[in-house]
Chains A and B, each alone.
Chain A
Amino acid sequence: MRAALAIAAKDLRQRVRDRSAIVLAVIAPFALAAVFSVLMPSGGNEFTARYVIIDDDGGPIATAFIDGPMAALADPETGVAELVEVASEAEAREQVEAGELDAAVLIPEGFSDAVLAGGGAELTIVGNADATLGTEVARAVSTAFMDELASIRLSVAAVLHAEGGTPDPAHAAELAERAQPATAPLSLGGTLADSRQLGAATFYAASMAIFFLFFTAQFGALSLLGERRGGTLPRLVAAPIAPWTIVAGKALGSFVLAAVSMAVLVVSSTLLLGASWGDPLAVAILVLGAVVAAMGLTALITTLSRTEEQAGAWNSIAAVTLAILGGAFFPLARGPEILQQVSLLTPHSWFLRGISDLGPAGTGIETVLPSIGALFAIGLVTGAVGLARAGRLAVAR
């Protein structure tokens, strides 16, 4: 263990003297996060949709739908959508088709009467094919509203049935009126779109941190190849230490550098950019998970490479690709469903998801356990293979 500490200390000394390492570990991610958060204050991962409502009914149920859940969607403080107005259904369809709107909600004439009469009432959602999430949000809100109406109707029917005799329309209307406030007000709280929102400073600080972490975390594995190129690896192996000690020292040095750089970024972005990371303990464990995942993946990639240069190139390609797929550069919510599924294979997605889930006040570590689990799983699986290969690299056979 003493030898591993000596190797880690030596590596860290070399890294600190190599100014490019400090630039990659701290300066570049902080600077880019600051620039992006100023240039794109809405935050790269924020979901917003544009809807139009064509109300050909004008009745009380249609009005309740528009003033209730749809108005909540467009709330300036908590909403995720903008409601726009157009002249006609045809124009609405045209704009949806052109991608200017995410979806159009069509309320047909006679909708309220049909609901009140207990007959079949139908809302139509016309969605843009490329705005999957926007369409799904509109559909989910509409479906929830219709389900509530069905519940109210069922409740009223049950009361009337219990009372027996011929239903009195005035009494039925009174029951419906009394039942309506008792239903849960439709809220977007807890929906996917809401819980994944982050402020621009937080999003860019987190995304740049995880992006550059893949450059920082690769130092340990890369330096093993560097020792081989520089001729010092045989001297390390010839020393009276177990070969795994060399790998452990490299991993320890890499871990310390990566963890410290992430900690510096969290603190500096909080103090200087106003980022809001959330519960400190949960953030710390998420950061550790991200570090482990980055170290594992970069160790695997590096030990599959033949030279330091090749490993550097492959790690860079992996860092950029995973960052794109993981939503560190642009919001995945606007991407196709398949991309959102693929993103679950990346540490970036799980880290950003975890930080996003910590957004609402009061959320703690239990909220981000899936993200923490995924990060450590990715890191441990890839890291185990990487470490085994690193051990073989250390000893020529």
Chain B
Amino acid sequence: MVATQPSAAATVAAPILTCNGLRKRFGGRQAVDGVGFEIAQGETYGLLGPNGAGKTTTISIVCGILARDEGTVTVAGQPLDVGSTKAKGAIGYVPQDLAIYPDLTARENLNFFGRLYGMGGRDLARRVDEILAVVDLADRAKERTEHFSGGMKRRLNIGIGLLHKPRLLLLDEPTVGVDPQSRNAILESVEALGREGMAILYTTHYMEEAERLCHRVGIIDTGTIRAEGTRRELVALIGQRDKVKLTATGDLAAAARSLADFAGVADATPNDGGLELIVDDARGALPRLLQTAADAGLAVTTVEVVEPDLEAVFLHLTGRALRD
């Protein structure tokens, strides 16, 4: 595993979830091999890896539905095991597969799971109403879920996980098999929950979801976390920088020399019809780069920023693509 500096969110707040040395073997296959990470309050942590990497096994151990062979899990200061009830109360779990009863209505599903979390009476009724509103199913509350669309079922699936106001939300690939519109709605919901201060563990094999939602990402493959950190930290690990392509007219060679002296620019090369720059932080430096180019007499017509992504990091670390 490649060690990286944790983000500010992880160091400032006390960890809600701490995992150390998790190991799980199924027969001859080591599904999880020494996985460990922490998630702070208000932090969204992503486990990014291809199918079969060990994401679901890890999340199953963390929420106490799968007994581990080795390691420790602590949630909100409470040790967690399969039989732990106190620690489980702090967790909201949204499994990858839909976990709702098709022959019960949306409200009945929520009422049932609410009771399992010790809720009841008016508190439960009020909270169910809130969740129905959050997942936009208030007008379908009395309808059996077997009549719901895939997206509606997914939203209810997430709503059940939020019912008891958990401190830690575990989302296991919640957008698998979801249409683009529902997927976007789910991602917006997760972003909102993160902003509200909930700690979130989010597993996915979609690089763009991890980049969009997660403060920190653990790249997992063959049961091992190969690297973790912010997107920028991970990209830095593999020595890649942002690329800025300018289409421009004017004295390209002079402009390249001016820009090459600019702080954070590693290289500036004129090419046919423009310039190509290698920079540390393209988004941050772009306004000043354009001003410098203009000062050098360039007429810029198009700008393209290419940032190295987590796909490239994964490829670098494992030698294969995320979707292999």
Contacts and interface: CB of A to CB of B under 8 A. Distances in A.
Contacts of B261: none
B64 A231 contact: no
Nearest to A395: B82
Interface in A227-251: 230-232, 234-243
Contacts of A2: 115, 118
Nearest to B57: A396
B32 to A, nearest CB: 13
Interface stretch (A10-18, A57-65, A154-162): A10-18
Interface in B106-120: 108, 112-113, 115-118
Given A10-B101, A18-B103, A231-B97, A238 B117 contact: no
Contacts of B116: 3, 6-7, 236, 239-241
Interface in A214-232: 230-232
Interface stretch (B15-23, B85-93, B197-205, B279-287): B85-93
A14 B65 contact: no
B100 interface: yes
- Which label, helix, strand, loop or mixed, suits the secondary structure of the B interface? loop
Given A3-B116, A238-B88, A240-B89, A396 B100 contact: no
B117 A6 contact: no
B99 A240 contact: no
A397 interface: yes
B104 interface: yes
Nearest to A236: B116
Contact of A235 (B66, B85, B86, B99): B99
Contacts of A235: 93, 95, 99, 113, 160
B101 A231 contact: no
A230 B101 contact: yes
A232 B88 contact: no
B239 interface: no
Contacts of A396: 60, 65-67
A13 B108 contact: yes
B112 A395 contact: no
Nearest to B91: A238
B67 A242 contact: no
Nearest to B64: A238
B85 A242 contact: yes
A397 B102 CA distance: 27
Given A13-B104, A242-B83, A234 B99 contact: yes
A224 to B, nearest CB: 14
Contacts of A18: 103
B82 A10 contact: no
A234 B60 contact: yes
Contact of B112 (A10, A230, A242, A397): A10
B101 A14 contact: yes
A232 B67 contact: no
B71 to A, nearest CB: 15
A241 B66 CA distance: 15
B237 interface: no
Nearest to A396: B66
B110 to A, nearest CB: 12
B299 interface: no
A220 to B, nearest CB: 16
Contacts of A237: 64-65, 82
B63 interface: yes
Interface string A258-281: 000000000000000000000000
Contacts of A241: 85, 116
Contacts of B85: 240-242
A34 B148 CA distance: 42
Interface of A: 2-3, 6-7, 10, 13-14, 17-18, 230-232, 234-243, 395-397
Given A10-B101, A238-B64, A243-B83, 16 more contacts: A2-B115, A2-B118, A3-B115, A6-B112, A6-B115, A232-B100, A232-B101, A234-B65, A234-B93, A235-B99, A236-B116, A237-B64, A243-B82, A395-B65, A395-B67, A396-B60
